[in-house]
Each structure stands twice: as C-alpha cells, then as structure tokens.
C-alpha cells in the first residue's frame, strides 16, 4: 500500500525548517523561520503549543530520547532546551558565534551535538548544560551533525562539500568523504551504525560504509535534497527535495519506491517516527504534514532483529 497523508498542521507563519516525533508518537515538534517552535499533539482535537523565546529563525528541533526535552537551534546563535508542556520553560545555551543549523541528542540522552555557520561542531552535556569540546576542521558552514547510535562517532556535513567522521573520545577527524559536488545539507547514521547517508545541493543522496569508508550507493535526483531520514528497520530512506517532493528509497533493492507530492514549494525537512509507521515533512509552504508509512507494516516486529544482524548494501549507482 502506498504511503498516505494522514493529517496536516497549520500554525507556523513562515517556512518549516525541521520536524521530529517524540518517542511515543504523541507529539510532533516543528521549527520554523518564524522564530517559533511548535509542539503538535498527535491526538485529534488536542491543542498545539507555540514556544516563543528564540530571537530569530529556529533552524532545527529534536526530542530527547525519553521525550522529556526538546532541543532547538537558532539563527540567534543559541541552543534552547524546552520542557514540552503547557508552560514551555526553556534554558539557553550560548552555543556558537553564528547560526546553529543542527541539534542532536546522543541515544543515551546525555550529550548534545550542535553544528553551526561558525564552521564548528560542538558537544555539550545535557544535564549540567556544559560545553565540552569543539570539532573545527570544516572550512565552511556546518549544516548538520549526528551521533552514531552507539555514541562513539560523530558525523558532520558542511558547505565545504565534505562529510567528516569524528571519533568522540579522541576528538579527531578519522575520515573525510569528499565525493559531493556541492554543499552537503544533511547527514545521518543508518540504525545499524555501519553506514551513513548524506544529501546535497548536487541533487544526490550518497550512502557510505563507515567501516571501510567506501561509497555503497549513489542516488541521482533532479533537485537539491534538503533532508533525509532512515526508517528504523534500516531498509528505507525518505528524502525531502526542492522540487516539492518526498521520495522513499528502498536501500536493499537500491531503487526509488515512491514519490510523494504534497507540499507547494520546496520540501525542507522530513523524519520517520521512532517506530517507522509514520513520517512527517515540512515545507517552505509553512505546512507540516504527517504521513502513514503503510508500505512496511509487516516488518515492524522485525525492526530490532534487522538491526542486530545489520544490513548489507551493495555498491551500486541509481537514478531517481
């Protein structure tokens, strides 16, 4: 069955930059160029919370693994940690010297990694809200940074056209992937931790093995890819592009499964829920859309089994 649009949320007053589901799927967070963070209830007729505090565009949002906190990064150079309740209290990290493009919690919820136009990646402790260290080898804006599932590695994507892999303990860059022909907008780890996928302004999605540092798959599209998200099974990848489409790639078959049209104008962000039965997307049309995955309903029970065995991906090139 094809993925289907479940609901859409209107409330932001400018382009959506980021979306993320809480662990239990009861809430969806979105960030926008309107400087607001919104928390939407996934239950019908429940109110949305609008969190005001950032002085400029909110570039990125993410729920902590437990769902008790939401982190946001902004053009105002700060990172905020919010309690996603009625009060919407937040604490501020004076984070960077330029726009913060990306926030990401480690899977144990103890650390936060942020990426900025100041060309650095920074790591923080969540509870003591203390800055730990900077990674500074990129020579242009850093758009995205993510912890590996086991928390030992960090991957970052930059306008210097590289994706860098870092060892969190030694704080050293262990590899630079230089195959992108343009800025790299987004990067993330496969749920198994063995591969990464990166999306760029060269209209491609590339998947690399981080153990052998080799390119496994290359998907050539016809528009800038702004965002991507792995399905928890590790078998699918969803992308959001400037041609207003969302695309679902089958990583095992190495082919395009679905192209979804819903947004008017660029699709800016996309994220699967943590169980994989839903995904959310945002666009420059100010809309947040929630989609039912449908295509993989039988596999949810096997998600954990799949992750243990890991998935093998062959080295192939594909055209979207």
Q: Picking from 114-118, 149-153, 291-295, which range would have the lowest pLDDT averaged per residue? A: 291-295
**Per-residue pLDDT at 286:** 97
Confidence of residue 296 (pLDDT cuts 50, 70, 90): low
Query: 147 has which bridge partners?
Result: 154
Question: pLDDT (tens digit, 9 = 90+) per residue, 187-231?
Answer: 999 999 999 999 999 999 999 999 999 999 999 999 999 999 999
Confidence of residue 108 (pLDDT cuts 50, 70, 90): very high
Average pLDDT in the chain? 91
SS3 state at 134: strand
3-state secondary structure 111-123: EEEEEECCCCEEE
d(CA 138, CA 160): 7
Residue 318 has pLDDT above 50, yes or no: no
Q: Please, are residues 22 and 44 in contact by the beta-carbon 8 Å criterion?
A: no
DSSP string, 83-111: --SSS--EEEEE--SS-EEEEEE-TTSSE
Tell me which DSSP letter residue 46 carries: P
Q: Picking from 47-51, 166-170, 303-307, which range would have the lowest pLDDT averaged per residue? A: 303-307
* Residue count of the chain: 320
SS3 state at 202: coil
Handedness of CA 203, 208, 214, 217 (dihedral sign): negative
> Is CATH 2.130.10.10 the classification given to domain 4-307?
yes
Residue 315 has pLDDT above 60, yes or no: no
pTM of the model: 0.92
Where in the chain are the domains? 4-307
d(CA 308, CA 11): 40
d(CA 108, CA 14): 33
Residue 298 has pLDDT above 60, yes or no: no
User: Which one is predicted more confidently, 304 or 153?
Assistant: 153
**Per-residue pLDDT at 312:** 36
Confidence of residue 309 (pLDDT cuts 50, 70, 90): very low
Give me the residue label for tokens 């702004």.
226
């Amino acid at each position: 069955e094809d993925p289907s649009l479940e609901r859409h949320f209107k409330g932001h007053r400018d382009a959506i930059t980021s979306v993320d589901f809480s662990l239990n799927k009861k809430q969806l967070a979105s960030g926008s160029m309107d400087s607001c963070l919104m928390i939407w209830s996934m239950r019908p007729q429940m109110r949305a919370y609008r969190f005001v505090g950032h002085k400029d565009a909110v570039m990125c949002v993410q729920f902590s693994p437990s769902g008790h906190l939401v982190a946001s990064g902004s053009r105002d150079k700060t990172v905020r940690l919010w309690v996603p309740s009625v009060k919407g209290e937040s604490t501020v990290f004076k984070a960077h010297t330029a726009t913060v493009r990306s926030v990401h919690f480690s899977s144990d919820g103890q650390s936060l990694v942020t990426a900025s136009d100041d060309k650095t990646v920074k790591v923080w402790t969540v509870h003591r809200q203390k800055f730990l260290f900077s990674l500074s080898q990129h020579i242009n804006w850093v758009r995205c940074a993510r912890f590996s599932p086991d928390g030992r590695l960090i991957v970052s994507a930059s306008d210097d056209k590289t994706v860098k892999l870092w060892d969190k303990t030694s704080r050293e860059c262990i590899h630079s992937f230089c195959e992108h022909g343009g800025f790299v907008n987004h990067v993330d780890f496969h749920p198994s931790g063995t591969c990464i996928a990166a999306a760029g302004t060269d209209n491609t999605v590339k998947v690399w093995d981080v153990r052998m540092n080799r390119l496994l798959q290359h998907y050539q599209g016809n528009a800038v890819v702004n965002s991507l998200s792995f399905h928890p099974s590790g078998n699918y990848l969803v992308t959001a592009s400037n041609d207003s489409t969302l695309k679902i790639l089958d990583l095992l078959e190495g082919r395009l499964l679905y192209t979804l049209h819903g947004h008017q104008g660029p699709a800016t962000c996309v994220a699967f829920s943590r169980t994989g039965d839903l995904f959310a997307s945002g666009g420059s049309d100010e809309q947040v859309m929630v989609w039912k995955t449908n295509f993989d309903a039988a596999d949810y029970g096997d998600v954990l089994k799949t992750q243990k065995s890991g998935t093998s991906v062959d080295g192939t090139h594909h055209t979207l």
